[in-house]
Structure 1
Amino acid sequence: MSDKKKNNSKFSFNSYWIYIPIILFFIVLQVFNSGDLASRSITKNEFTKILKENDIKKIVVENKSVAQIFLKEDALSKESYKELVDSPFYRKGSPLYSYNFGDLQNFENEIKDLKQQNNLDFDKVNVERTSLMDTVINFLPFILLIAVWLFFMRRMSGGGAGAGGGGQIFNIGKSKAKLFDENTKVKTTFKNVAGLEGAKEEVQEIVDFLKNPDKYTKLGGKIPKGALLVGPPGTGKTLLAKAVAGEAGVPFFSLSGSDFVEMFVGVGASRVRDLFKQAQQKSPSIIFIDEIDAIGRARGKNSMTGANDERENTLNQLLTEMDGFGTDTNVIVLAATNRAEILDKALMRAGRFDRQIYVDLPDLHERKEIFEVHIKSLKLADDVNLDFLAQQTPGFSGADIANLCNEAALIAARTDKTAIHHQDFLDAVDRIVGGLEKKNKVITPKEKKVIAFHEAGHATVSWMLEHAAPLVKVTIVPRGQSLGAAWYLPEERKIVQTEQMLDEMCATMGGRAAEKLMFDKISTGALSDLEKVTKQARAMVTVYGLNDEVGNVTYYDSSGNDSFVKPYSEETAKKIDKEISKIIEGQYQRAIQILDENKDKLTVLADKLLEKEVIFKDDLVEIFGKRPFEKEETIDASIVEEKNSEA
């Protein structure tokens, strides 16, 4: 029975159906109001014959071109007219014939002469008539113009019943915020938010403000106006805002910054006013504006739009509402962005957004908590190790971990497994970070050998350097746009010293150094390696002040205002280029020296890589022995992929 109900399509009324009966009504009205259905058009000779027989009762000349012929009552019974009179379309009192006479003056002279000659007693009337259909046709362009205008106004204002008030033009200035109140209560709480302990502590105070405002106001404190959630994409800013609403149990208005943007002048400011008006009526309440940088960008930066920019008007209205005269409205504004540096300074000041809460990427323990949240709906095998997965996924946001769990489930389902195993999660990490495996890519044996030595060079140099990241695995299976990859677990450092950066650069140059050492030739496969070390060397010289020749200066501008200005002279530019090249070439020669000292082991590693295509840390221990700098690592680690990119 339930299947039948599902298969039956549910009837839904479409507003456009109402035009069908209206059109039919006009058609029927035109048909039944027309007397031309029973009348027959006649020639001049036929008209003269009927006229001479004195059967015509009245001639009605319409629009100076057509004569409608009405016959006398006794003439209608004649046999010659019987066929037309018996027609189902004939109505009593309607014309039986119509005669298109041409020129009106000639026609009037003609019937005048015949009337005198034959002593006829008919009447003649001139009338101007316009049919209903003609009237509609005359007004049709105006009707279509109005219909098109109404259609576009309906679409621009949101359209449909979901746009509030039917999506009509009169509601275009209304707020598009989605309201969560006692009828649609937010069920997300802090228990649903894994990690983010520091951020949760700060927003917990906002929840306490809303629940117990007297606790603070009796001491003279004021309810904070707003809090800005700042952090990388996918870290849980929106989820945290929903949890605040769920914990506080107050009405929650949720919308995006782009919802204020409209093509009509003044609509954005009107929506801001309407939003705050609704929030004050339901106070205490929370307004959450996601991606506030859509309207909160610093004013005056874009000279192309001029001062009267619609986005700036919207921002001005938001600033006014957040810093209004009323201080007891109990409306708190939460906003989220990952581009806090471009926001207007007036928006960021105390009194509007009183506090900024940085939502950072999760650390090792927080990643484990996030995994525990997302695996609740998954069917796992016994060999899944969440501690190891948390170590393997540094730099992953909460959204990345959710995607990883889903990808692992898809990989397991693709191989018809009954549960998700630990290897499925590792394959999902490789898939997300490195890309899809391309085992069918055509690679010649010579190219494969070059790739094997390239990747073996990375692995060998990183194994021999103290500050280089420890290796996880090396593969020469093409993945994504790379022909080979080396996977590492480097430390997540808060600060980086010069020696650490140089060791990382040396390990990165190990691939090209191996090609030079073994084949005395270099290839285009080190493109991504060169890009990486060039960026690192430039940062050492121009950003971090780690170069002795250039000195303790930085040419980095955190405000982002140096896009079109070179903050150093041509002489300094030459010095910078020289020092960058010197650093890179120095680490390249250092990598060649390390590989030359371990050439036999490099060859064994490359041969094993050609044989197995994927080798792990245990294989390196077997070839090189235990790493001399190995220590008990308790620091969080991250995966880095060294790509051997195609030319």
Structure 2
Amino acid sequence: MSDNKKNAPKFSFNSFWLYIPIIIILLGLSFFNSGNLGSRNITKNEFTKILQANDIKEIVVENNNVAQIFLKSEALKKEEHKKLADSPFYRQGSPLYTYNFGDLQNFENEINKEKEEKNLDFDKVNVERTSMMDTIISFLPFILLIVIWLFFMRRMSGAAGGGGAGGQIFNIGKSKAKLFDENTKVKTTFKNVAGLEGAKEEVQEIVDFLKSPEKYTKLGGKIPKGALLVGPPGTGKTLLAKAVAGEAGVPFFSLSGSDFVEMFVGVGASRVRDLFKQAQQKSPSIIFIDEIDAIGRARGKNSMTGGNDERENTLNQLLTEMDGFGTDTNVIVLAATNRADVLDKALMRAGRFDRQIYVDLPDLHERREIFEVHIKPLKLAANADLEFLAQQTPGFSGADIANLCNEAALIAARNGKEAIEHQDFLDAVDRIVGGLEKKNKVITPKEKKVIAFHEAGHATVSWMLEHAAPLVKVTIVPRGQSLGAAWYLPEERKIVQTEQMLDEMCATMGGRAAEKLIFNKISTGALSDLEKVTKQARAMVTVYGLNDKVGNVTYYDSSGNDAFVKPYSEATAQKIDEEISEIIENQYKRAINILDQNKDKLTELADLLLEKEVIFKDDLIKIFGDRPFGKEEKPQITTEE
């Protein structure tokens, strides 16, 4: 019962509900105040009969077209009038009958003639009346326009800015930043951030600045204005900023760069001013702007649209506020982006973002720490090996590892297990990298044999080359868009030498080389392999300057301004194409030679793969023996089309 109460939707009051009872009251007043409520409309003959009987006390001519007939008290007791007079809708002193007489002059002549001839004693009065409903109906179009205007203004103010005073239109320029202070304290600390040791050291100084600024200012130093966290998605930039606020224990204003963008002119700049004003009032404090590239893009490149002008005005206001005039406000701006290359240079200069902290993908040791953080809420079996998992996830970000742990828990629960086993983590990696296993995909025996030799060719060549990544596991079970997937163990290198790149390319071409050697035919299954080696060969020639004929030159522009410019001549382009083709063909021939020398072992490995569908490193050791190159191994996954 308590859970149902917690999950029940909360009652929220809407001021528009006040209009409903007001309208009902107005309609009720108009209804009950109407003098004609209990009266009945009569014909000319009926009116003449009542007139000649001298039952009329007073005739009130309303708006020159309707006569309200008031009867004498003794006339109300007559049989023909009593039934209507006793009606619950009739009120004492109200007209019992109404008569639409038509032309006013004829009507007056008629009643005056009857009054003289019959010596009648009734009174006649002319009045002009307008009912409340008539008034409301006449003003209804204006009322509807006002209601519609109020409705849209509330909707726009609620969507555009709204805190304070119920989100009225006048608060549209207010900041939308979420404030974490002593009431809503940030609970994230550096203990919750695994890895990122270098980045944590950088931001630790920011925490010290906020806790004890006099330690630095007494020597003449100035507190830094801001720090920019740059790195690939999912590496923990936002988490690191929250940890800074949690460690410093100061008010923390958190918002996204898109929160400044609005359809109204000047709103973005107004929100920037309001944000810094609030931060200065609560200083020392931290402002965190996530995805700052939404407003921080370089100015002047797309000035054709008005929306871009509004974004530039917002950026200009942000630059002004960050530059400022005072240095004693103790407001530090943290920002995060994975698109630092598109940011405006004025935003990146010292004095605004004094520090740029690069948050890179985690290495082996950091991945182990991240795993330890994310497995705390999980129920693990005794055979779960975190060290092995850290080795098998090169290139995974912190967000990827969190997703991996959650996927492993889901797989274990789906299989009805009481704890998450090591195999569940391996299946989760297969699921994330390779895709969902396609159990219903029909593959003919001939195609399956080609796939098996293709994967066996990769495994054989990589096992025989010193700098190639050796195999850990290979499968010919279809996953996602791939028909086979292989796990390898590449080194995590900081720099790569020419021989290492050539060995990797040779191992990649081992799949097609095996098809050519065994079947004397090639297939489309090597598409991903060809794409990979072509990129590597092009990078060797045009980026890293590793080709003798082209020389020690690079045509890579790190600023990204060469998208529409070819920085070399047609003759050089032809030479580049020839060298790329020659590098790939040489490694293809090299792979064929290695496989030709080990053709019996290649066939044995492919037959074993056809039999088991999944083979591991131990199976290769039984066939080829121990690998002659003893190196520390860290796994990775590649897939085949």
Q: TM-score, normalised by structure 1?
A: 0.94
Q: Which residue of 2 aligns with 1:641?
A: 638
**1:518 and 2:522 are equivalent in the alignment:** no
Number of aligned residues: 641
Matches within 5 A, 1:475-494: 475-494=475-494
Contact in 2 for aligned 1:164/1:171 (Cα 8 Å)? yes
Mark the CA change 1:72 to 1:275 in structure 2 (over 3 Å): closer, same or farther: same
Q: Distance in 2 between matches of 1:503 and 1:4?
A: 62
Report the Cα offset of residue 548 of structure 1. Answer: 2.8
Q: Which residue of 2 aligns with 1:586?
A: 586
Mark the CA change 1:88 to 1:504 in structure 2 (over 3 Å): closer, same or farther: same
Report the Cα offset of residue 89 of structure 1. Answer: 0.7
Report the Cα offset of residue 594 of structure 1. Answer: 2.3
Q: Which residue of 2 aligns with 1:70?
A: 70
Alpha-carbon displacement from aligned partner over 1:464-493 (angstroms, at most 9, x marks no partner): 222211111110111111111111121111
Q: Distance in 1 between matches of 2:289 and 2:129?
A: 63
Contact in 2 for aligned 1:408/1:425 (Cα 8 Å)? yes
Mark the CA change 1:551 to 1:67 in structure 2 (over 3 Å): closer, same or farther: farther
Q: Which residue of 2 aligns with 1:240?
A: 240
Report the Cα offset of residue 109 of structure 1. Answer: 4.7
Q: Which residue of 1 aligns with 2:201?
A: 201
Q: Which residue of 1 aligns with 2:571?
A: 571
The more displaced of 349-358 and 509-518 is 509-518
Report the Cα offset of residue 104 of structure 1. Answer: 4.2
Alpha-carbon displacement from aligned partner over 1:339-396 (angstroms, at most 9, x marks no partner): 1111111111000111111111111111111111111111111111111111111111
Mark the CA change 1:109 to 1:560 in structure 2 (over 3 Å): closer, same or farther: farther
Q: Which residue of 2 aligns with 1:317?
A: 317
Report the Cα offset of residue 516 of structure 1. Answer: 2.4
Contact in 2 for aligned 1:452/1:609 (Cα 8 Å)? yes
Alpha-carbon displacement from aligned partner over 1:317-350 (angstroms, at most 9, x marks no partner): 1111111111111111111111111111111100
Contact in 2 for aligned 1:158/1:167 (Cα 8 Å)? yes
Q: Distance in 2 between matches of 1:15 and 1:33?
A: 28
Mark the CA change 1:61 to 1:568 in structure 2 (over 3 Å): closer, same or farther: farther
The more displaced of 512-521 and 347-356 is 512-521
Report the Cα offset of residue 7 of structure 1. Answer: 8.4
Matches within 5 A, 1:152-551: 152-158=152-158, 163-305=163-305, 309-551=309-551
Mark the CA change 1:4 to 1:496 in structure 2 (over 3 Å): closer, same or farther: closer
Q: Distance in 2 between matches of 1:626 and 1:188?
A: 48
Mark the CA change 1:336 to 1:127 in structure 2 (over 3 Å): closer, same or farther: same
Report the Cα offset of residue 310 of structure 1. Answer: 1.0
SS of corresponding position for 2:638: strand
Mark the CA change 1:110 to 1:449 in structure 2 (over 3 Å): closer, same or farther: farther
SS of corresponding position for 2:244: helix
Q: Which residue of 1 aligns with 2:46?
A: 46
Q: Distance in 2 between matches of 1:111 and 1:564?
A: 98
**1:131 and 2:128 are equivalent in the alignment:** no
SS of corresponding position for 1:495: coil
Contact in 2 for aligned 1:514/1:592 (Cα 8 Å)? yes
Q: Distance in 1 between matches of 2:564 and 2:117?
A: 103
Q: Distance in 2 between matches of 1:546 and 1:534?
A: 15
What runs of 5+ residues in structure 2 fail to find an aligned partner?
none
Report the Cα offset of residue 241 of structure 1. Answer: 1.0
Mark the CA change 1:67 to 1:392 in structure 2 (over 3 Å): closer, same or farther: same
Q: Distance in 2 between matches of 1:549 and 1:105?
A: 116
Q: What is the one-letter code of the residue matched to 1:612?
A: K
Q: Distance in 2 between matches of 1:607 and 1:63?
A: 107
Mark the CA change 1:141 to 1:503 in structure 2 (over 3 Å): closer, same or farther: farther
Mark the CA change 1:313 to 1:68 in structure 2 (over 3 Å): closer, same or farther: same
Report the Cα offset of residue 507 of structure 1. Answer: 1.7
Alpha-carbon displacement from aligned partner over 1:229-269 (angstroms, at most 9, x marks no partner): 11111111111111111111111111111111111111111
Mark the CA change 1:499 to 1:115 in structure 2 (over 3 Å): closer, same or farther: farther
Q: What is the one-letter code of the residue matched to 2:245?
A: A
Report the Cα offset of residue 459 of structure 1. Answer: 1.4
Q: Distance in 2 between matches of 1:555 and 1:135?
A: 79
Q: Distance in 1 between matches of 2:61 and 2:453?
A: 104
Q: What is the one-letter code of the residue matched to 1:639?
A: Q
Q: Distance in 1 between matches of 2:105 and 2:452?
A: 106
SS of corresponding position for 2:255: strand
Mark the CA change 1:633 to 1:68 in structure 2 (over 3 Å): closer, same or farther: same
Q: TM-score, normalised by structure 2?
A: 0.95
Q: Distance in 2 between matches of 1:252 and 1:305?
A: 34
Q: Distance in 2 between matches of 1:417 and 1:640?
A: 27
Q: Distance in 2 between matches of 1:177 and 1:7?
A: 27
Mark the CA change 1:15 to 1:362 in structure 2 (over 3 Å): closer, same or farther: same
SS of corresponding position for 2:158: coil
Contact in 1 for aligned 2:161/2:171 (Cα 8 Å)? no
SS of corresponding position for 1:228: strand
Contact in 2 for aligned 1:159/1:166 (Cα 8 Å)? no
Report the Cα offset of residue 119 of structure 1. Answer: 4.5
Q: Distance in 2 between matches of 1:233 and 1:308?
A: 25
Q: What is the one-letter code of the residue matched to 1:185?
A: K
SS of corresponding position for 1:98: strand
Report the Cα offset of residue 169 of structure 1. Answer: 0.9
Q: What is the one-letter code of the residue matched to 1:194?
A: A
Contact in 2 for aligned 1:300/1:307 (Cα 8 Å)? no
What runs of 5+ residues in structure 1 fail to find an aligned partner?
none
Contact in 1 for aligned 2:303/2:309 (Cα 8 Å)? no
SS of corresponding position for 1:36: coil
Q: What is the one-letter code of the residue matched to 1:542?
A: T
Q: Distance in 1 between matches of 2:548 and 2:119?
A: 129
Q: Distance in 2 between matches of 1:575 and 1:304?
A: 40
SS of corresponding position for 2:61: strand
Report the Cα offset of residue 574 of structure 1. Answer: 3.1
Q: Distance in 1 between matches of 2:121 and 2:419?
A: 105
Q: Distance in 1 between matches of 2:451 and 2:148?
A: 63
Q: Distance in 2 between matches of 1:330 and 1:302?
A: 35
Q: Distance in 2 between matches of 1:544 and 1:125?
A: 107
Give identity over the alignment, percent.
86
SS of corresponding position for 1:255: strand
Report the Cα offset of residue 115 of structure 1. Answer: 4.4
Alpha-carbon displacement from aligned partner over 1:99-149 (angstroms, at most 9, x marks no partner): 233444554454455445544444444434332223223333322322222
